[in-house]
Amino acid sequence: MPKDVYTLDDLRNWSVATEGESPPIRLSVFGDPVAHSRSPQMHDPALKAAGIDAAYGRLHILPGQLEEALGLLPDRDFIGTNVTIPHKAAVLELMDEVDPQARRTGGVNTVVVEGKRLLGFSTDGPGLVRAIRADFGVDLRDLRVMVLGAGGGAGRAIAVQCAIEGSARLVLVNRTFEKAQALAAELAPEFRETRVTGPLARLEAVPWHDAALARQLQHIDLVINATPLGMTSGELRRVSPVPVSLLRPSHLVYDTVYTSGRTPLLMAADEAGARGSDGLSMLLYQGALSFEIWFGRPAPVEVMRVALLGK
């Protein structure tokens, strides 16, 4: 019977830990914590639908165990692995080769095992592009975007993606303001070209307080939460990163957090009459893009969607 979560010890003694399991686990997600990960829920049906004799497991790997765990993957006949909190940046440094997009993003979420070599990719930003198109019927490049949590891994990946797409505007907001400022300075060359977007600058970092948010939100189409505010466990569960009074019916609201119910931000969007969507679609599309990197063929996205979203 496959375990819900495997450990480094299991990976060391892989044939014993997975004895009798069929299909064999040859893909995984590394995380700490990782028990909540919903990636197996979409990848196992995708592998089955594609006729690939492999299963996808969760590996609870602690930060100090990352190098050893990655080093064991080739000998355990892994095709690759996904990487989640808190390993994305550390994994980048442990790759033999890093895709330019992952290098810019500063993190790897998809590892390919090629012989003895490990190749790193990032599908978070491109996954968000597909999610926004699927959920709202618009392209990131046509939108004036506000990213809350622009100092974190997901926020940075999204901001870099906005730069790559050439979004109409980008406003970076972060609790630690200096991180948003540093990212804005880095992305500034890509926002030099003038586009007709209104009275405010095309790229801005703003401090996280209501007056600044209120001013900016008048000139924003898409609000993205890339902080953990609203996650199911802990005291942050009930906190909306933006108060309902600042949202308008014209806003599109995307919460990268996904929980079993509506997040506080999405409840605020509902109350304001704005359209909102949770992070499950980003999870779906970053997973589909990982599949495409591992197997070099289109992912069975509909199979993955039904398995993950039930629709």
Residues known to be catalytic:
88
Q: Does position 154 bind ligand NAP by CB under 6 A? A: yes
Q: Which residue of 174, 181, 277, 290 would you call a contact of ligand NAP, by CB under 6 A?
A: 174
Residues 70-89 that bind ligand NAP (CB under 6 A): 85
Q: Rounded distance, CA 267 to CA 270, Å?
A: 5
Q: Which residue of 179, 202, 251, 305 would you call a contact of ligand NAP, by CB under 6 A?
A: 179
Stretch that binds ligand NAP, among 51-59, 73-81, 209-217, 277-285 (CB under 6 A): 277-285
Q: Whose Cβ is closer to ligand NAP: residue 13's or residue 233's?
A: 233
Q: Whose Cβ is closer to ligand NAP: residue 18's or residue 264's?
A: 264
What's the longest Cα–Cα distance across the chain?
65
Q: Which residue of 175, 219, 237, 262 would you call a contact of ligand NAP, by CB under 6 A?
A: 175
Size of the site for ligand NAP (CB under 6 A): 25
User: Residue 291 carries which DSSP code?
Assistant: H
CA distances from 24 to 6, 36, 111, 307 (A): 13, 21, 18, 20
Q: Does position 28 bind ligand NAP by CB under 6 A? A: no
Q: Which residue of 4, 36, 176, 185 would you call a contact of ligand NAP, by CB under 6 A?
A: 176
> How is the beta sheet containing 97-98 ordered, strand by strand?
6-7, 55-60, 25-31, 80-83, 110-114, 117-121, 97-98
Q: How near is the Cβ of 190 to ligand NAP at its closest, in Å? A: 21
DSSP-based three-state secondary structure for 307: helix
Q: Which residue of 191, 258, 291, 294 would you call a contact of ligand NAP, by CB under 6 A?
A: 258
Q: Which residue of 18, 161, 216, 286 would you call a contact of ligand NAP, by CB under 6 A?
A: 286
Q: Does position 90 bind ligand NAP by CB under 6 A? A: no
Residue position matching structure tokens 């990782």: 34
Q: Is 29 exposed, middle or buried (0-12, 13-18, 19+ CB in 10 A)?
A: buried
Q: Does position 282 bind ligand NAP by CB under 6 A? A: yes
Q: Does position 257 bind ligand NAP by CB under 6 A? A: yes
Q: Which residue of 65, 105, 181, 227 would you call a contact of ligand NAP, by CB under 6 A?
A: 227
From the list 261, 178, 267, 263, the residue with the least C-alpha distance to 228 is 263
Q: Does position 236 bind ligand NAP by CB under 6 A? A: yes
CA distances from 4 to 27, 29, 91 (A): 14, 12, 23
Q: Which residues does residue 25 pair with via DSSP β-bridges, in sequence order?
A: 55
Q: Which residue of 216, 256, 277, 290 would you call a contact of ligand NAP, by CB under 6 A?
A: 256
Q: How near is the Cβ of 87 to ligand NAP at its closest, in Å? A: 10
User: Residue 24 carries which DSSP code?
Assistant: P
User: Residue 85 carries which DSSP code?
Assistant: T
From the list 9, 223, 30, the residue with the least C-alpha distance to 113 is 30
Sign of CA dihedral 215, 153, 109, 44: negative
Q: How near is the Cβ of 84 to ligand NAP at its closest, in Å? A: 7
Q: Does position 39 bind ligand NAP by CB under 6 A? A: no
Q: Whose Cβ is closer to ligand NAP: residue 123's or residue 167's?
A: 123
The two tokens of residue 55 are: 């299963």
> Residue 203, CB half-sphere, CA atoms under 13 Å: how many?
22
Site residues (CB under 6 A) for ligand NAP? Answer: 85, 124, 149, 151-155, 174-176, 179, 226-229, 231, 236, 256-258, 279, 282-283, 286
